[in-house]
Every structure is written in structure tokens, then in C-alpha cells.
Amino acid sequence: MFGILPPATRALILITSAVYLVQIFTRVPLDIFMLWPLGENFRPWQVVTYAFLHSPDSIAHIFFNMFALFMFGRELEHAWGTPRFIVFYFASVLAAAATQLVWTWYTRSPEPTLGASGGIFGLLLAFGMFFPKQRITLLFPPIPMPAWLFVTLYGLIELVLGVTGTQAGVAHFAHLGGMFGGYLTILIWRLQARARPR
């Protein structure tokens, strides 16, 4: 299965999964790699390293992120090529981190953030923009819908959940930040393409 994946998507899945196994089966302290709110525990590298960590108490956290990376990442990397895919993924990760840092500062939350969801939500947005008519079937419930509708609904749900705070422990604004960072990256690419001489 991994042999059919393009290199960056495959590497991200393997590295993230390996880190998860380290989290579960060793006592190596990885807290310093989580994204802590601005303050004494924050370190600059955390804006990237948090995306390779997942909650050891919930296998669903990493499973759904890696499944989405497998589903959407391979299509986008095939369409864009590996260098552009890497730029896009980490632009989404960084935008998600920046958004979460602003949110935790505003709410004075002391909790760290971890997980690849910011990058995944960026990929989700890109998939909806580049393959808007592609059918996506939800797992629960199994309802097929075009990608553009799936992405729009998912984004609205994240916004509502984030504003209302009805799902504690989930970084909804990091998810939205990943989508926003992905959108800005695509916008920059399109502006650069228009500026090139024909």
C-alpha cells in the first residue's frame, strides 16, 4: 500500500506513525515538542514539531489524521509534485500553529496543542478547491457528497464548535488556521502564475 504513495505523503505517514509508537512504548519525554502557549514553555521549533505528535490516549486521533493524509495527500502530491506539496503542507501546519498561539493567548489557555490536524485541514481545503466535484463518502454516516460541499460543511462545523466551545480538548481554531494558511498559499501561487510573462 505504501509503495503506491508519493514520497512526501509516505514519509509524513511513516514518520508520524513512528513518533506515535515512541510516545506509546517508551518514556522519552516529548512535551518539549508540543505547541505550548506563548510563555516559559514555548520554543520556536514547536510550531512544526507539534504536528508529528498525537494523543497516546486516543488512537482515533492519529488514525483519522493519517487516513485523511493518505486519501487527500496522495492526490494532491500527484497533482502538484513533491516540492510544492511539502511547501503547502507545512504552510498549513505553520498557519495552524500561529492561529492556535493567538487563540491560547486570547483565552489564556495553559494547554499545549499536538496533532497533524492543521496540515490535514489545509489539504482538505485544497482537495475541495482542486477536485470540487470529486465524491467523498463520510464514514459516519455514509453519505456521499461533492468535495466542495464536504469542505464547506466541515469548515462551518469547526467554526461553530470553536466559537461555542462545545467540544473541549479539540483545537478547532488550529484547524481553521490550517485551512486559512492553505487558502493563502493557493492564492499566492495563483497570483504568481498570473504575474509570469506569457
pLDDT at 1 over 60: no
Q: Is the dihedral of CA 12, 13, 15, 21 positive or negative?
A: positive
pLDDT one-digit tens code per residue, 35-82: 999 998 999 999 999 999 998 888 888 998 999 899 899 999 999 999
CA distance 88 to 140: 28
| Sequence-ordered list of residues with C-beta below 8 angstroms from that of 89, at least 6 positions apart, any chain | 8, 12, 73, 119, 122, 123
Delineate the domains of the chain, giving CATH numbers in brackets. Answer: 2-195 (1.20.1540.10)
Q: Which helix (H) or strand (E) holds 102?
A: helix 82-107
In this prediction, residue 57 carries a pLDDT of 82
pLDDT one-digit tens code per residue, 122-170: 999 999 999 998 888 766 667 888 888 888 887 887 777 766 666 666 7
> Can you name the residues that pair with 146 across neighbouring β-strands?
135
**Backbone phi and psi for residue 58, each to the nearest 5 degrees, phi listed first:** -140, 105
What's this model's pTM, rounded to 2 decimal places?
0.90
